[in-house]
Amino acid sequence: MDKELNGEELDEALIIAWVRLTSALKNTRITKGMIYNEAIVMLIVYNRYREDGEGLVSFRELVSETKMLKSLVNRTIDSLEKKGYLLRLDGTDKRTTFVKLAKEDLGEYLAVHAQSLELAHRIREIIGTENARSFIRISEKVTKADPLHKK
């Protein structure tokens, strides 16, 4: 993008860039053996596991983090449970459900996750460390602002 774009042209270019990036990432199929929603849920639970060594995440947190419908999160958890990646646990309050990593099958997930890390490394090599940091900051800012919902 060499020429200076006006507001509307910039918005159009942003949409095109967004679609190209999401298509490239989705078509890379870095989550072999998992559908996209499973990969998202597993990443949330795995990151919690990396933080606290347990990886216990509430159903409510998964719905909030993924922005998926409750029914879709439930089906995704069912699928991951059948694959042996997650365990479903009831909380002390019967209305609360938690999931956690099935540690005995963590190696299988880590093999899939390693492919994602390799892709992230290649992207960082292409755009550079500072642009990678900027991309993370921008992505987090957009996510927090939730632009799909008008103020």
- Res 132: pLDDT: 92
- Res 58: pLDDT: 94
Query: pTM for the whole thing?
Result: 0.77
- Cβ atoms 132, 123 nearer than 8 A: yes
Return the CATH fold of 29-145: Arc Repressor Mutant, subunit A (1.10.10)
Map tokens 């990678």 to a residue: 132
What does the domain layout of the chain look like in residue ranges? 29-145
Count of helix runs (H) and strand runs (E) in the chain: 6, 3
- Cβ atoms 56, 89 nearer than 8 A: yes
- Res 23: pLDDT: 76
Indicate the SS3 state at residue 124: helix
pLDDT one digit per residue (tens) for the chain, 151 residues: 557 888 888 888 888 888 888 777 666 655 667 888 998 899 999 999 999 988 899 999 999 988 899 999 999 999 999 988 999 998 676 678 899 998 887 888 888 888 888 888 988 999 999 999 999 998 888 878 876 665 5
Among 102, 98, 109, CA closest to 34 = 109
- Res 76: pLDDT: 95
